[in-house]
Structure 1
């Protein structure tokens, strides 16, 4: 993905437009599309600045957004497996999503549904 234009360039373009220069002339001179200049003007009208948004989360938003609430839920229901926790959660959610949220808050997942009683059984030979 290409990097956004610098804030200085954006400001220079907008200052040139404010001074009365034509958008098409500026776009040809700086090799910027006219649509980009229009988007910068629209952003400046909406937010007061033409700087791009920074530190926004890309991709789909997590289904469990309230991590502190989920941390309390995980401490209360920590004895359950991920499937059991998914059934106890307020909304309909998958055990895979519960696992991702547990990783995000730093909890380790429960590896087995039931505790192992005998551990590993030897084959009778000792080395």
Structure 2
């Protein structure tokens, strides 16, 4: 992900647009997208600042609260598939993707093989 453009540039763009210049000409003059001129102007009107909002952040894993259930199901049913585990979680009211289940298992070091001989 790229970093946001400088506040100085944002301020100059919004000032030019507020002075009556069209968004298209401001965008062309400063080398930014027309949508950026519009969004920065809207942000200035709404918040009084053109500073960018926070980017990224930490998201707590959705399945962390269900770790005990997942471990128990893997121990009880070694032939359980990722899709099967996802369906069992859905039955408990936890809507997650196949990939979310896989990433959780990998992050927690939980591995299971359908054929234990090949492990």
Alignment deviations for residues 7-38 of structure 1 (CA, whole Å, 9 cap, x no partner): 32112323x248x5233364454233444211
RMSD: 3.8
Higher Rg: 1
- Per-residue deviation at 1:111? 1.8
CA gap 1:73/1:12 in 2 versus in 1, 3 angstroms:
farther
- Per-residue deviation at 1:40? 1.0
Task: Name the structure 1 match of 2:69.
Answer: 73
CA gap 1:87/1:27 in 2 versus in 1, 3 angstroms:
closer
Higher relative contact order (CA 8 A, sep 6+): 2
Q: Which runs of 5+ in 1 are unaligned?
A: 58-64, 120-127
Report if aligned partners of 1:23, 1:37 keep a CA contact under 8 Å in 2. Answer: no
Q: Which has the higher mean CA deviation after the structures are superposed, 35-44 or 89-98?
A: 89-98
* Greater fraction of residues in helix: 2
TM-score (norm 2): 0.55
- Per-residue deviation at 1:46? 4.1
